[in-house]
Amino acid sequence: MYGPPVDLSFNHLSCVTGALSVVPRSGLRCLNTNSKKKCLSRSLRLNNNNITDITDLQQVLSHFLAQPSKLGWLDLSFNKITSINSVLCDLHELRVLYLHGNSIDNLPEVDKLHKLQYLHTITLHGNALETTKGYRNHVISVLPQLKKMDYAAVTHEERVLANVWQQSRWTHK
């Protein structure tokens, strides 16, 4: 059984490794730990910090989680992230990824996430890439398994439009 998220939010962290010296916030539900004092959780909150680089995310996951490879939910919202680090692609069980309120401005950055076959929910609003023409179509075409994007359901019609949009982009290149 997995418990509540490991909450490392609101700690003024500028890099993910800064979390190694932080005690997770206590919530309504207590964090359960194993005999090695690792949290029995599949969720991690690093939101509302000043993080610019997540290169060492695996080190943080291994420090706090009993089963870091089972991470299914990651909140990196409201940081200062400018690109999607390939370290996220190593999170094979990731299902929910919150990246809203960051500084990602290049829409093709999203393409890096196509390997995450279980990713069904993503937030990217509040990043500069949101103003790019075809933003939603692009994300849906790159991540066809999405069920929710920016807190809104991805409809069948949107999938069809995203496919048409993607095909028209290929024919115009």
Q: Does residue 5 carry a pLDDT above 60?
A: yes
DSSP bridge pairs for 98: 75, 123
Task: List the domain range (segments joined by +) for residue 42.
Answer: 6-171
Q: Which residue has the higher pLDDT, 168 or 171?
A: 168
52 part of a folded domain: yes
**CA–CA distance, 15 with 133 (Å, rounded to integer):** 31
| 156 φ/ψ angles, rounded to the nearest 5 degrees | -60, -40
What SS3 state is found at 121?
strand
Q: Using pLDDT thresholds of 50, 70 and 90, give the confidence band for residue 172.
A: low
Q: Which helix (H) or strand (E) holds 169?
A: helix 156-171
Average pLDDT, whole number, for the chain? 94
Number of domains making up the chain: 1
32 part of a folded domain: yes
State the residue for tokens 């599949």: 42
Q: Does residue 1 carry a pLDDT above 60?
A: no
**CA–CA distance, 120 with 106 (Å, rounded to integer):** 21
1 part of a folded domain: no
Q: Using pLDDT thresholds of 50, 70 and 90, give the confidence band for residue 2.
A: confident
Q: What is the pLDDT of residue 89?
A: 95
Q: Which helix (H) or strand (E) holds 105?
A: none
Pairing state between β 152-153 and 148-149:
antiparallel
List the CATH number of the domain containing 103: 3.80.10.10
Q: What is the pLDDT of residue 16?
A: 96
The structure's pTM equals 0.94
Q: Which residue has the higher pLDDT, 103 or 167?
A: 103
DSSP bridge pairs for 121: 96, 148
The predicted-structure confidence for 37-50, as pLDDT tens digits, reads as follows 999 999 999 999 99
37 part of a folded domain: yes
